[in-house]
Structure 1
Amino acid sequence: MKVENYSYETFPRYTKEIEGALELKGNKENLRCRMLDVEYQQGCMIRFLFPNTILDETKKYPLVIHIQGSGWYQQDMNDHIFDFMPIVKTGYAYAIIQYHGAPEYKYPTQISDVEKAIAFLKDHYQNYPIDFNNIFLSGDSSGGHIALLIALQKKYEFKGIIDLYGVTNFMTFNDWYSKYDWKEERNAIDFLGSLDNQLLIEVSPITYLKENMNLPPFLILHGDKDHVVPITQSIELYEKLKEYHYDVTFGRVHDADHGRSIFYNEDVYQTIINFLDSKKR
């Protein structure tokens, strides 16, 4: 029997008894997560993760623009799909930004690519379930480094910044334990082209942190057994933000390495969700 003018609310529910059947509850508040890939420039895409519900397909969600870590090399765009799904299911959209990777593309290409992606989102947000009045910027590892560079140079306005174990100061990177000495690794030279001190200062986000900048709130999370980016990188940024009286929250994730399963757990998810909930308009 065809139903005219279908809507979820008016569609008839089958209520007759079914002998031997399990009776399971549906959850009208539950959100699924769906993915959509959009090319914002040739060779680079935005991977959207959207909440999805049958009840209100016109709803607009706050957006977290996330820059994924990769050592500044070509990114694995599947790396964080499942990590961020618990946050998406609480009512936030994610836009994971792909950029051209080192060594073929060097600084500042990666920053320029992210800025192009942000401009694309600004110009086309009406086409997606995005509330552009509530935009957050996030990044992990090298993506956290890029996010901080963009945030601290104040080219865009965000409701909040989420830095997940990002590089903050190349000049102090070797001050704590790491598996790597950046002076001996290919990452920095492949990304920057040289290890000139002036260039290292230029690409260190903490260089741009000053007093009275009218910055958005910051959430910084870092594992205390991170073998790649020393936790002291995040502590240095946290303490400088506190010194200048900015709104900043720092979370040390006990026993967590550089991301991975120990890091992405319920405590971390709830901390991020609480931050987003408290800062959105």
Structure 2
Amino acid sequence: MKFKKYFLLALMIFSVPAFAQETAYKTIQNIAYYPENTEGATEYRNKQCRLDVYYPEGKKDVPVIVWFHGGGLTGGVKELPQALKEKGYCVVGVGYRLSPKVKAAVCIEDATAAIAWTFKNIAAYQGDPNNIFVSGHSAGGYLALMSVMDKSRLAKYDIDANEVAGLIPFSGHTITHFTIRAERGIPGEQPIIDAFAPLYFVRNDAPPTLLITGDRELEMLGRYEENAYFYRMMKVAGQEKIKQYEMQGYGHNMTHPAFPLLLNFVAEQKR
């Protein structure tokens, strides 16, 4: 009985610090990432171009995951995926303008502006600007790739795209996006690789990259194969820090089982 009492007492004593050290998280919503009253400001931009920041209170310099939602560049809303919460990271969920209200290429401009905002402001939300990872699903994966692979985009904000700690697109186009092709009257079955294709910008100095797609037999048209081609051409260009993962048995909506891969990649690559 004495042993049992001492054991329970010890359990209570050592349990208190554990509860006391539990991390509290905070969410700040609808932060504008374009300065107000600047060139190009419209009511639609002011409404759409906002982001949410989820971060752990009481910590500093935690890795950051920027997340772009999917929706074909024509739909969807900003989101903070539940699978990324309470993992010790700062998460930035980005909204952006959508076609047909704007040309789909504007979505890339918005995504780049949101990443630039993160570099310049995330320290105020406990995030580490030296550990910013960029990710997203489908159209969001495409935006992640385009914003970083085309170095000229972040350069407009005086940011070297190679300062991004890692790229993790989920089932993103690596050819020119089908909505951009549709705006030109090009059918979805006709692939194009031009300045709106991540494949156009393959280079050996890009940030570490993890390409994740669904099963090649279950994915959207050619999505696995174009990611495989991107992977191969990056390797040919001399990029060694790139991996590809095919989610066997999962189709295009493979985010849930893919999130652990994203989290593992961030843990491995953080600086």
Which TM-score band applies after superposition, normalised by the shorter structure? 0.7 to 0.9
1:120-269 matched pairs, under 5 angstroms: 120-154=117-151, 155=154, 156=161, 157-170=163-176, 187-188=179-180, 192-195=183-186, 201-210=194-203, 213-224=204-215, 225-227=218-220, 230-246=223-239, 247-260=241-254, 263-265=255-257, 268-269=258-259
1:275 correspondence with 2:265: yes
Residue in structure 2 matching 1:89, options 77, 83, 86: 86
After TM superposition, give the deviation of residue 28 of structure 1 in Å. Answer: 5.3
After TM superposition, give the deviation of residue 194 of structure 1 in Å. Answer: 4.6
Deviations 1:95-116 (A, max 9, x none): 1111110001103311111222
CA distance in structure 1 between the aligned counterparts of 2:104 and 2:77, rounded to whole angstroms: 19
Amino acid at match of 1:277: A
Which residue in the other structure is 2:43 paired with? none
Which residue in the other structure is 1:59 paired with? 60
Task: Rate the CA distance shift 1:236–1:132 in 2: closer, same or farther, 3 A.
Answer: same
Which residue in the other structure is 1:40 paired with? 33
- Unpaired runs of 5+ in structure 1? 1-14, 16-22, 174-181
Which residue in the other structure is 1:117 paired with? 114
Q: CA RMSD in A?
A: 2.9
Task: Rate the CA distance shift 1:58–1:32 in 2: closer, same or farther, 3 A.
Answer: closer
Deviations 1:115-153 (A, max 9, x none): 222232233223212111111111211111121112211
CA distance in structure 2 between the aligned counterparts of 1:207 and 1:231, rounded to whole angstroms: 17
CA distance in structure 1 between the aligned counterparts of 2:245 and 2:186, rounded to whole angstroms: 31
> How many residues were matched structurally?
231
CA distance in structure 2 between the aligned counterparts of 1:219 and 1:120, rounded to whole angstroms: 23
- Unpaired runs of 5+ in structure 2? 1-8, 10-14, 35-45, 155-160
CA distance in structure 1 between the aligned counterparts of 2:123 and 2:18, rounded to whole angstroms: 31
CA distance in structure 1 between the aligned counterparts of 2:22 and 2:242, rounded to whole angstroms: 31
Could you say which structure has the higher helix fraction?
A: 2
Task: Rate the CA distance shift 1:27–1:233 in 2: closer, same or farther, 3 A.
Answer: farther
Does the Cα contact within 8 Å between 2:98 and 2:104 map onto a contact in 1?
Answer: no
TM-score (norm 1): 0.72
After TM superposition, give the deviation of residue 49 of structure 1 in Å. Answer: 2.4
Task: Rate the CA distance shift 1:251–1:199 in 2: closer, same or farther, 3 A.
Answer: closer
Percent pairwise identity: 21
